[in-house]
């Protein structure tokens, strides 16, 4: 319950006690699983770090194309995020309010970009895209919007399901607010957790996407890393690790900002991998 | 099209006037202003093949509280939502102060609404929730905070002004919702089962609070409920609905003592069904022939409808019934008497008289010679 989250903030002592109890009852087999899984993830990283060496990391920053490609990826992430949000937030809200029966259809439609291989998708797009857009970063951003749609839709849909969209909208209307005001002042602030999660997914997606970018002849950060592989393996590996750290930092930043804001109103907690709706916290 | 546009213009002009008085009211204290009348004219609304509303008409006088009472699915909520502007009627009109508001969107109707539950904005504290409507009306920051604080005080929640909805109890949330709806000094207050999600004790308190405030402010109010006790205790008049139609609109005591139809009679209060023999204008029940009230069937097998307090019962060897149960209700005791194999009636007697009526006692149940309502016999 949400109240539990509130209590946790005001009274840390019982929370700390619970944490201690939990640690005592942490069984040995869990440690085994954690260590095995941890090794699985960390060993390759460690190997990569050893291989790249300190000189590899130094070279990353001086290698031509590093900054422009990173900057391109960041801009792409932002533009993709913006377009996706502007399209998907009103759409999901509208479907929830006016056409709840369409939700199933939309779920199916939005999963298509995952089902269709990126190569097929981009070849199709290139067939029909207007000439002016072809092989531009804008084109790539639009393609990313399509790629991001399934994730964005699902997260926003779940977020809307956890609030009383219809009642809140009607209450807002009866108090004199129109549609846009209601969306901006009433619905969006209560979708913050969902919007944050969608943002995290989109940023992670764009910062890591390779196939479309390379087919679209855009030297994004992942494309730049792969191109480098052929020339200097050490720098390339160092760049990969750097990319990992940058992405991770971005996600942490988004999480921290969102959690700080949502805690103020007793909202759900945001984590990188999962969104805990208000109701489930403390259960 | 043209007619619609004209209506809208008229209504928005009227709204501006309403707004002006609203702002004036904020400057002073919660003032008494001329009440608003509401008329529902021949409202019809179908969802697929089911008729939620069927030619429903209702007039609400300025300052009056009318409750719509009925079982779920009777159309009462649809009627309220049409008045609010959240739903449209297939035909018919809603008149507010004699102006058709059918084309006016909900956000311009100037109606305060309290929902069943979960309608407070979770991202705003109680004060900001109450101030929201004033903000939409472009009332300045200091003015709206002052007014919102006044309203929170009015519902007794000044101490909770800074709390967020999730920190408030269900009853407190509904009081904030009421304050929020009243803050805009609405022309009409709409209450959509505002108490049904609360527990019994809170419900009782809030019931009185709503009624007191409504009378003090003189706001014309439409109240939807499935709880007859709520409707009878709060409303000036109660409209009982069934299958999208109003069966009867009357003040609570008339509704109880002179129900127009069998449905109303059985929906409001406790009602006995006793098989009777129908004659012309008369019915023979329990060996007594009494007049039939108009409103029931004129032929076929019928049951007479009699309230527990309108029957008499006395201990009698070889009487027409046997006591099966007794329930002590305080000032009276309700005795259940089995008349025949499938007819059981409830009779109210004084606790003193009931003392002798232990289960198994033979008794004589009698009907005083007053007109009764009859209904087609339930199969």
**ipTM reported for the complex, 2 dp:** 0.80
For residue range B311-346, list pLDDT tens digits in order.
999 998 888 999 999 999 889 999 999 998 788 999
Sheet containing B111-114: order of strands: B111-114, B188-192, B220-225, B65-69, B237-242, B245-250
pLDDT at B379: 60
Question: Distance between CA A187 and CA B55 in Å, rounded?
Answer: 36
pLDDT at B27: 34
Question: What is the bridge-based pairing of β-strands B188-192 and B111-114?
Answer: parallel
Q: What is the pLDDT of residues B34-85, one digit of tens each?
A: 689 999 999 999 998 888 999 999 999 999 999 999 998 899 999 999 999 9
CA B200 to chain centre: 17
Domain boundaries, chain B: 2-110+186-257, 272-376
CATH of domain B272-376: 2.40.50.100
pLDDT per residue as tens digits for the range A203-243: 888 988 888 888 888 888 888 888 876 667 788 788 888 88
Share of residues in chain B with pLDDT > 70 (%) = 91
What phi and psi values does residue B102 have, to the nearest 5 degrees?
A: -55, -35
User: Considering CB atoms only, which of B85, B164, B184 is closest to A175?
Assistant: B184
Sheet holding B288-291, edge to edge: B288-291, B282-285, B272-278, B302-306, B373-376
Interface of A with B (CB under 8 A): 2-3, 6, 163-164, 167-168, 170-178, 181, 185-186, 189-190, 265-267, 278
**Looking at per-residue confidence, does B22 or A237 come out higher?**
A237
Do residue B166 and residue A278 have CB atoms under 8 angstroms apart? yes
Q: For residue B177, list chain A residues with Cβ-Cβ distance below 8 A.
A: 171
Q: Are B66 and B221 in contact (CB under 8 A)?
A: yes
Q: Domain range holding A122?
A: 2-280
pLDDT over 90 (residue B129): yes
Q: Smallest Cβ distance to B122: which of A3, A170, A190?
A: A190
Collect the ranges in chain A with pLDDT lower than 70. Answer: 1-26, 229-231, 260-283
Residue with the bigger pLDDT between B22 and A145: it is A145
B313-338 as b/e: b if 16+ CB within 10 A: beeeeebbbebeebeeeeebbbbbbb
- Is the confidence at residue B235, as pLDDT, over 70? yes
d(CA A57, CA B190): 67
Number of domains in chain A: 1
pLDDT of residue A218: 85
| A190/B107 Cβ within 8 A | no
Which pair of structure tokens corresponds to residue A20? 């201690």
User: Which residue bears the tokens 């095995």?
Assistant: A36
In this complex, which of B85, B108, B122 lies closest to A163 when CB atoms are compared?
A: B122
Rounded alpha-carbon distances, angstroms, from residue B197 to B170, B203, B210: 8, 9, 15
CB atoms within 10 A of CB B362: 15
Closest CA to B12 of B86, B136, B110: B110
B51 Cβ contact partners less than 8 Å away, ≥ 6 residues apart? B44, B45, B75, B243, B244
Contact B132 A164 (CB under 8 A): no
Of residues B111, B121, B166, nearest to A174 (C-beta): B111
User: Is B306 within 8 Å of B272 (Cβ atoms)?
Assistant: yes
* pLDDT at residue B308 is higher than 80: yes
Neighbour tally for B251: CB within 10 Å: 12
- Structure confidence at residue B192 as a pLDDT band (50, 70, 90): very high
User: For the residues B111-133, what does the mean pLDDT come to?
Assistant: 93
**Three-state DSSP class for residue B47:** strand
Report the distance separating Cα B186 and Cα B114, nearest Å: 12
- B109/A174 CB distance under 8 A: yes
pLDDT of residue A262: 60
Task: Calculate the CA dihedral of residues A201, A204, A207, A211 and round it to 10 degrees.
Answer: -70
How many Cβ atoms from other residues are within 10 Å of residue A172's Cβ? Answer: 25
Q: What is the homologous superfamily of the domain B2-110+186-257 according to CATH?
A: P-loop containing nucleotide triphosphate hydrolases (3.40.50.300)
Residue length, chain B?
379
In angstroms, the CA B79 to CA B240 distance is: 13
The domain spanning residue A160 has which CATH number? 1.10.3720.10
Q: Which is it for strands B220-225 and B65-69: parallel, antiparallel or unpaired?
A: parallel
């Amino acid at each position: 319950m949400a109240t539990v989250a509130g209590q946790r903030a005001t009274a840390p002592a019982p929370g700390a006690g619970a944490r201690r109890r939990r640690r005592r009852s942490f069984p040995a087999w869990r440690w085994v699983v954690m260590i095995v899984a941890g090794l699985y993830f960390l060993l390759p990283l460690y190997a990569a770090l050893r291989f790249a060496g300190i000189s590899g990391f130094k070279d990353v920053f001086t290698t031509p194309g590093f900054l422009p490609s990173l900057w391109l990826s960041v801009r792409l992430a932002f533009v993709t995020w913006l377009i996706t949000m502007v399209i998907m937030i009103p759409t999901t809200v509208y479907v929830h309010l006016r056409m709840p029966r369409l939700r199933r259809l939309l779920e199916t439609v939005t999963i298509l970009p995952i089902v269709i291989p990126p190569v097929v998708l981009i070849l199709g797009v290139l067939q029909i895209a207007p000439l002016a857009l072809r092989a531009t970063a804008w084109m790539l951003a639009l393609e990313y919007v399509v790629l991001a749609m399934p994730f964005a839709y699902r997260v926003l849909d779940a977020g809307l399901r956890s609030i009383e969209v219809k009642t809140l909208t009607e209450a807002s209307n009866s108090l004199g607010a129109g549609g846009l005001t209601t969306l901006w002042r009433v619905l969006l602030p209560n979708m913050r957790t969902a919007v944050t999660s969608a943002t995290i997914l989109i940023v992670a997606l764009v910062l890591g996407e390779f196939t479309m970018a390379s087919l679209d002849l855009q030297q994004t950060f992942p494309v730049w890393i792969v191109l480098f592989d052929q020339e200097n393996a050490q720098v390339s590996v160092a760049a990969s690790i750097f990319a990992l750290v940058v992405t991770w930092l971005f996600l942490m930043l988004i999480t921290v900002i969102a959690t700080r804001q949502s805690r103020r109103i007793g909202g759900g907690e945001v984590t990188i991998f999962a969104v805990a709706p208000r109701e489930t916290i403390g259960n | 099209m043209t007619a619609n546009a004209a209506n809208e213009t008229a209504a928005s002009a009227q709204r501006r006037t309403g707004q002006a008085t609203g702002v004036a009211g904020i400057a002073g204290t919660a003032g008494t202003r001329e009440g608003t009348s509401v008329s529902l004219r021949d409202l019809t609304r179908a969802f697929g093949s089911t008729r939620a509303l069927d030619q429903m008409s209702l007039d609400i006088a300025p300052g009056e509280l009318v409750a719509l009472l009925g079982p779920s699915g009777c159309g009462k909520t649809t009627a309220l939502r049409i008045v609010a502007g959240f739903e449209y009627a297939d035909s018919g009109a809603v008149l507010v102060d004699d102006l058709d508001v059918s084309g006016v969107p909900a956000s311009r109707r100037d109606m305060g609404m309290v929902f069943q539950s979960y309608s407070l904005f979770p991202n705003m504290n109680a004060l900001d929730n109450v101030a929201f409507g004033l903000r939409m009306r472009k009332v300045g920051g200091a003015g709206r905070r002052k007014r919102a604080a006044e309203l929170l005080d009015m519902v007794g929640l000044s101490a909770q002004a800074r709390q967020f909805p999730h920190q408030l109890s269900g009853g407190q949330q509904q009081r904030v919702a009421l304050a929020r709806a009243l803050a805009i000094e609405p022309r009409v207050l709409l209450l959509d089962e505002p108490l049904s999600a609360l527990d019994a004790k809170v419900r009782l308190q809030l019931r009185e609070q709503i009624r007191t405030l409504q009378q003090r402010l003189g706001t014309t109010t439409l109240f939807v409920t499935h709880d007859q006790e709520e409707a009878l205790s709060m409303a000036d008049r109660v409209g009982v609905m069934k299958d999208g139609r109003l069966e009867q609109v009357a003040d609570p005591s008339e509704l109880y003592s002179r129900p127009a139809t069998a449905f109303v009679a059985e929906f409001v209060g406790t009602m006995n069904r006793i098989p009777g023999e129908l004659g012309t204008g008369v019915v023979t029940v329990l060996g007594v022939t009494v007049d039939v009230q108009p409103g029931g069937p004129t032929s076929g097998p019928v049951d007479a409808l009699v309230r527990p307090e309108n029957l008499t019962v006395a201990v009698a060897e070889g009487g027409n019934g046997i006591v099966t149960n007794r329930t002590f209700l305080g000032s009276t005791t309700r005795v259940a008497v089995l008349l025949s194999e499938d007819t059981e009636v409830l009779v109210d007697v004084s606790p003193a008289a009931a003392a002798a009526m232990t289960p198994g006692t033979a008794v004589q149940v009698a009907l005083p010679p007053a007109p009764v309502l009859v209904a087609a016999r339930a199969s």
